[in-house]
Structure 1
Amino acid sequence: MTLDVLSAGPMLTVQDAGRFGLRHMGVSPAGPIDRAAMALANGLVGNAPGAAALEFAGPAGSFRCDRPVRFAIAAADCVIRIDKRVVLAGESHRLNPGETLTVGAPDGAVWAYLAFSGGLDLPGVLGSCATHLRSGLGGIEGRAVRAGDRLPLGEQTPDAPCLRPESPVFLHEEGPIRLVLGPQDSSFSPEVIRSLTEREFIVTPQRDRMAMVLGGVELPAAKGHDIVSDGTVPGSVQVPGSGMPLVLLAESQTTGGYPKIGTVASVDLARLAQMPVGARFRFSLVTPAEGEDLWIAKQARLRQMLRSFVAKPESVLRSDYLLSCELVGGFYDVEEILRPVTLPDRDRRP
Structure 2
Amino acid sequence: MTAAGFLDIVAPGLMTSVQDLGRFGAQALGMPVAGATDPIAFRLVNCLVGNPENTAALEIGYLGPGFTVAAESLRIAFGGVAKLALQPADGSEARAVKPWRSVLLKRGDRLSIGAVEDASVAYLAVQGGFAIPPFMGSYSTYMRSGLGGFEGRALKAGDRLPLVLNAAPDSEERELADAIDYGDGPVRVVLGPQQDRFTAKGIETFLSATYTVTKEADRMGLRLDGETVEHVRGADIASEGLVTGSIQVPGNGKPIILMADRQTTGGYTKIATVISADLPRVGRMKPGNNLAFQAISVAEAEAIRRTQEQGIRRLIDGIRTAMPDVWLDLDALYTANLISGAVDAPSGHWK
TM-score normalised according to structure 2 size: 0.86
- Mapped to 1, the partners of 2:41 and 2:50 lie a distance apart of 14
Establish whether residue 28 from structure 1 lines up as the match of residue 32 from structure 2.
yes
Whether 1:77 aligns to 2:88 is: no
Which residue of 2 is the match for residue 158 of structure 1? 169
Kindly indicate whether the alpha-carbon contact (under 8 Å) linking 1:77 and 1:108 is maintained by their aligned counterparts in 2: yes
Residues 3 and 64 of structure 1 are in contact (CA less than 8 Å); yes or no, is this contact kept in structure 2? yes
The answer for the alignment partner of 2:306 in structure 1 is 296
1:267 aligns with 277
- Matched to 2:201, the amino acid is E
Note the alpha carbon deviations across 1:214-262, whole angstroms, 9 max, x for none. 1112112112111000110110000111111111000100100000000
After TM superposition, the structure 1 stretch with the greater mean CA deviation from structure 2, 248-257 or 152-161, is 152-161
Cα shift at 1:92:
1.6
Residue 51 of structure 1: aligned partner:
55
Which residue matches 2:103? 93
Distance in 2, matches of 1:79 and 1:153, equals 24
* Distance of 1:186 and 1:118 partners within structure 2: 49
RMSD: 1.4
Q: d(CA) in 2 for partners of 1:222 and 1:26?
A: 30
Cα deviation for residue 157 of structure 1 reads: 5.1
Distance 1:86 1:221, change over 3 A: same
Deviation at 1:297, TM superposition (A): 1.6
Deviations 1:196-230 (A, max 9, x none): 22221111111111111011121121121110001
Identity of aligned residues (%): 39
SS in 1 for 2:212: strand
Q: Give the letter for the 2:236 counterpart.
A: D
Is contact 1:192-1:219 (8 Å) kept?
yes
CA distance in 2, matches of 1:273, 1:125: 23
Q: Do 1:177 and 1:283's aligned partners in 2 also have CA atoms closer than 8 Å? A: yes
Q: How far apart, CA to CA, are the structure 2 residues paired with 1:103 and 1:243?
A: 39
How is 1:151-300 mapped onto 2 (pairs within 5 angstroms)?
151-155=161-165, 158-166=169-177, 168-300=178-310
Q: 1-side partners of 2:230 and 2:289: how far apart?
A: 22
Q: The residue matched to 2:215 in structure 1 has which SS?
A: strand
Q: 1:109 aligns with which of 112, 119, 141?
A: 119
Report how far residue 43 of structure 1 moved.
1.1
The 1-side partners of 2:299 and 2:132 are apart by 38
Q: Structure 1 residue aligned with 2:157, among 147, 159, 162? A: 147
Aligned to 1:67: 72
Asked if 2 retains the 8 angstrom alpha-carbon contact of 1:177 and 1:282, the reply is yes
1-structure distance, mates of 2:117, 2:303: 31
Q: State the number of aligned residues.
A: 314
The question of whether the paired residues in 2 share the 8 Å contact of 1:67 and 1:97 is answered with yes
> Residue 113 of structure 1 aligns to a residue in which SS?
strand
SS of the equivalent of 1:314 reads coil
Kindly report structure 1 stretches of 4+ aligned residues shifted beyond 3 Å.
Answer: none
Structure 2: which 5+ runs fail to align?
Answer: 88-93, 327-351
* Cα distance in 2 for residues equivalent to 1:146 and 1:171: 33
Alpha-carbon distance in 2 for matches of 1:27, 1:138: 11
1:67 partner amino acid? E
Partner of 2:42: 38
Deviations along 1:149-189, one digit per CA (max 9) or x if unpaired, are 111222475112211122x2124111110011000011001
Distance in 2 between residues matched to 1:218 and 1:73, nearest whole Å? 39
Q: Helix, strand or coil: the match of 1:228?
A: strand
2:172 corresponds to which letter in structure 1?
P
Q: Which runs of 5+ in 1 are unaligned?
A: 317-350
Alpha-carbon separation, structure 2, partners of 1:96 and 1:218: 55
Once the two structures are TM-superposed, the CA of residue 147 in structure 1 deviates from its matched residue by: 1.2
State the secondary structure of the residue aligned to 1:27.
coil
> Partners in 1 of 2:181 and 2:129 — Cα distance?
22
| Matched-pair contact (CA < 8 Å) for 2:34–2:142 | yes
Contact 2:73–2:168 (Cα < 8 Å) also in 1: no
CA–CA distance in structure 2, aligned partners of residues 54 and 275 of structure 1? 18
The 2-side partners of 1:275 and 1:16 are apart by 19
- Indicate conservation of the 8 Å contact 1:36/1:171, yes or no: no
Give the distance between the partners of 1:67 and 1:105, measured in 2 at CA: 28
Map of 2:337 onto structure 1: none
